[in-house]
Chains A and B, each alone.
Chain A
């Protein structure tokens, strides 16, 4: 970093420094106003609010003096870039240790979402849905004695959503995605908790009843979780065979334990779907409800029911396998593996296409080289000129 030399930035040298085509009056005016605004902001950022006066405005200085200002920003920006690198490096190292510690409960995707920044904003309705969803996650996490990390993260998302109403800070895509992944982990852990302790299942069912459910027919919790999991993804269990091109009876018999395939098809499957609960439970359930999730996803990305299955593909293969292992059911496992398969096929297809294009390019380059080596084109040039004439 060298000290700026006033002589170096003398007015005489300025046109060469800009080196661009002459600007129109309007363009110059706009540019000046932009510089002025940027200078004002940057000055107050560096020297404190209220210290800016029009005398400082580089546009009021002798013509080229504001180049000093430019130098100043350039040097500051360099430092800011270095700061970003330091931040990134620290995040990477800390995330690595956190992942090692949490024995796979936190995925890389999860941590990545926690550190990624996005400027894209959500609609007010989405923010509202997000708050409700986070509220649900928090409730679910607290009620089932979730590991603190999930509660903390969900709480943080909630805080961000609340701040949103007062500040320009926005709930980002990455946070929404984080919320989704948190939701998945919450459901997985919910199942684990109940698997470990049948008493908790009884408590849970009591809570559901006292919350106003007309009847609870759940005999097998894994079914509850599977149903709830599919609710989260916004499709019914009955949609899954269709989604995967499977025979419905085969699919239903793979669910365990249920009385009979036909009975399941008639009424058993939707045991925890909205109609069984009054609206209060439906809209403020223990986990993200179908309605809320649908609101968020559809408004955000215009995603159809089927596309939601693809969200699963956002998780990497290890996560998907872990998910399948934790959920346990044959069906979800199949969904997971199908997603993996689909992702792999897509990757392979893209790879094959890239290779094909590369081969074609290589061939074209070789042809060009060969053509370049032949003396004939040089001789043919006058002919071509004549033709052109």
Chain B
């Protein structure tokens, strides 16, 4: 049971690591440490990565919004420049 849980945790951590912004070397170290990492520590890592992922999604949306907002304005401005 614990093994199954651990496997689920590992998979989830691995999935989050794909999109995580943490340094590649730290990712490598984390991946290598996973198999010896106690359950509680894995949970803590998972929580941190989830938080990071959530915040990154919010920031990504914020960025999209800014780009969208300025895209229209810039379009108008470039037309003005052309005329």
B-contacting residues of A (Cβ < 8 Å)?
Answer: 1, 3-4, 6, 46-47, 53, 55-58, 60-62, 65, 68-69, 71-72, 75-76, 79, 82-83, 86-87, 89-91, 93-98, 100-102, 106, 110-111, 113-115, 117, 147-149, 151-153, 155-156, 175, 178
Contact = CB atoms under 8 A, between A and B. Distances in A.
Given A55-B78, A114-B23, A86 B52 contact: yes
A36 B47 CA distance: 43
Contacts of B66: 1, 72, 75-76, 79
A195 B31 CA distance: 28
B7 interface: no
B33 A102 contact: yes
A18 to B, nearest CB: 19
B32 A55 contact: no
A115 B41 CA distance: 20
B77 A83 contact: no
A316 B30 CA distance: 22
Nearest to B54: A86
Contacts of A97: 37, 41-42, 44-45, 48
B15 interface: no
B21 A95 contact: no
A3 B44 CA distance: 40
Given A86-B55, A115-B25, A152-B28, A68 B38 contact: no
Nearest to B66: A75
A263 to B, nearest CB: 44
Nearest to B62: A79
Contacts of A117: 23
A93 B33 contact: no
B32 A114 contact: no
A56 B76 CA distance: 10
Given A89-B52, A90-B22, A47 B80 contact: no
Given A3-B69, A65-B80, A86-B21, A147 B32 contact: yes
B20 A90 contact: yes
A111 B24 CA distance: 11
A7 B36 CA distance: 62
Rank and list the top 3 A-B pairs by shortest CB-CB distance, nearest first: A114-B25, A149-B32, A93-B48
B67 A102 contact: no
A100 B48 CA distance: 15
Contacts of A156: 24-25, 28
A175 to B, nearest CB: 8
B82 interface: yes
Contact of A61 (B52, B70, B78): B78
B17 to A, nearest CB: 9
B73 interface: yes
B11 to A, nearest CB: 17
Contact of B21 (A62, A87, A110, A175): A87
Given A1-B66, A68-B70, A152 B55 contact: no
Given A90-B49, A115-B23, A83 B30 contact: no
B25 A90 contact: no
B80 to A, nearest CB: 6
Contacts of B26: 91, 94-95, 98, 111, 114-115
Residue among A6, A72, A86, A155 facing the most chain B CB atoms (10 A cut-off): A86
Contacts of B33: 98, 101-102, 106, 149
Contacts of B77: 58, 61, 65, 68
B54 to A, nearest CB: 9
B67 A90 contact: no
A62 B21 CA distance: 39
A4 B72 CA distance: 12
A372 to B, nearest CB: 51
A325 B21 CA distance: 36
A47 B55 contact: no
25 contacts: A47-B67, A55-B79, A55-B81, A56-B78, A58-B77, A71-B70, A82-B55, A86-B55, A86-B56, A86-B59, A90-B22, A94-B26, A96-B44, A98-B29, A106-B33, A111-B26, A114-B29, A117-B23, A149-B29, A152-B29, A152-B32, A153-B29, A156-B25, A156-B28, A178-B25
